[in-house]
Amino acid sequence: MQESSTATTTNGPAKWGMAVDLDRCTGCEACVTACHAENNIPTVGANQAAAGRAMHWIRIERYFEGEFPDVHVKFRPVLCQHCDNAPCEPVCPTYASSHTDEGLNAQVYNRCIGTRYCANACNYNVRFFNWFNPIWEKPLHLQLNPDVSLREVSVMEKCTFCVQRIKEAKIDAKRDARPLADGDVKPACVQSCTANALVFGDLNDPESAVSRLSRSPRGTKLLGDLGTQPKITYLQREG
Partner 1 sequence: MRKWFILLLTTVAALGLGWGFFGENGFLRGQSNTGAARAQTSPIFTTAHSSVGEAVRHFFGIRSEAQQPIAYTHKAHLDRSITCDTCHTGVNTGPQARIPDIRDCMECHEFVAMDKPVIQQITAMWERGEDIPWQRVYGFTDEAHVRFNHAPHIRADVECSMCHGDVAQMTVAERVVDHTMGFCVNCHTQRGASNDCLTCHN
* CB of 2 or CB of 47, closer to partner 1: 2
Please work out, in degrees rounded to the nearest 5, the angle formed at the alpha carbon of residue 96 by the alpha carbons of 92 and 102. Answer: 110
For residues 8 and 14, the answer to whether their CB atoms sit within 8 Å is yes
The answer to whether 115 contacts partner 1 (rule: CB under 8 A) is no
Least Å distance between CB 128 and partner 1? Answer: 15
Binding status of residue 152 toward partner 1 by CB under 8 A: yes
**Closest to 198 (Cα-Cα) out of 29, 37, 15, 65:** 29
Mark 27-66 with x for binding to partner 1 (rule: CB under 8 A) and - for no binding: ----------------------------------------
In the shown chain, the binding pattern of residues 119 to 148 toward partner 1, with x for contact by CB under 8 A and - for none, equals --------------xxxxxx-xx----xxx
Query: Could you give the 3-state DSSP secondary structure of residue 32?
Result: helix
How far apart CA 77 and CA 186 sit, in angstroms, is: 16
Burial of 209 (0-12, 13-18, 19+ CB in 10 A): middle
171 binds partner 1 (CB under 8 A): yes
Number of residues that make up the chain:
239
- Considering only 52-60, 68-76, 169-177, 214-222, which stretch makes contact with partner 1 by CB under 8 A? 169-177
Give the residue, chosen from 67, 69, 70, 110, that forms a contact with partner 1 under the rule CB under 8 A.
110
Task: Give every CB contact of residue 57 below 8 A, 6+ residues apart in sequence.
Answer: 35, 39, 41, 79, 80, 126, 128, 157, 158, 159
Chain contacts with partner 1 (rule: CB under 8 A): 1-2, 5-6, 98, 100-101, 104, 106, 108-110, 133-138, 140-141, 146-153, 160, 163-164, 167, 171, 174-175
